[in-house]
Amino acid sequence: MSLHGKAALVTGGARRLGRAIALALGRAGMRVAIHYHASAASAEEVISEMRTYGVECIAIPGDLSRVADCERVVDATLEQWGRLDLLVNNAGIWGSTPVGSVTEERWDELLNTNLRSMFFVAQRAADALRASHGVIINIADVGVERPWRNHTPYLISKGGVVTLTRALAKDLAPEIRVNAIAPGPVLLPDDWGAEQAERVARTTLLRRIGSPEDIADAVIFLAQAGYITGVTLPVDGGHLLH
């Protein structure tokens, strides 16, 4: 589909991958609603940059671990523009959770934010997306295929995102296409040094770390790829083949 003039909602759109995705959609001419949780200042920076592109952008706060906020974020987008053409389910959290240290509260926080929220945001948006023959893009993780240590609840949540993508593609067809993107080594922990980054780069066939813009490019592609649904696209520099 042509993106110019259409409306998008990007959850977790104020920082990191979400910011790059939101800005790419703005450059493509879309009106963009960015959801944020605790990054109000970052959200305002995204809005300011969007204005330089000559496109409309709004910021909507919400804690997507709560179903009521999932629904409110969609409702606020529809109140602003009366339509929704693209939903990017990007919001998520992660962190080290060694077996033996995982609490019920941490499990619920990871699963509710990373997986449950995607379903309830999509469910609330479904009628509007049907009307526009729109698109849902979920952000997964290549770690689902090659798990690393001490992140089991996080990886379970992202495995659920892959299943959710396939199931929603069936449930919402033919009006809505649903796909996922599985980033590989793109954003490394802030406290990692050059040696650790180089070690990770060597786990890819392209021998480099990716960028948030690589993920944003994939979002633009899938948003317009009218005969693709139900797939999870790795954007990993060949990490899974290494």
The residues carrying an active-site annotation are 154
Amino acid at 108: D
* C-alpha to C-alpha distance for 146 and 155, rounded to whole angstroms: 10
* DSSP designation for 53: H
* C-alpha to C-alpha distance for 139 and 219, rounded to whole angstroms: 10
Nearest in space to 206 (alpha carbons), one of 241, 164, 159, 155: 241
Burial of 83 (0-12, 13-18, 19+ CB in 10 A): middle
134 within 8 A of 84, measured Cβ to Cβ: yes
* C-alpha to C-alpha distance for 142 and 163, rounded to whole angstroms: 14
Residue with structure tokens 């809005």?
47
Nearest in space to 220 (alpha carbons), one of 43, 26, 49, 19: 26
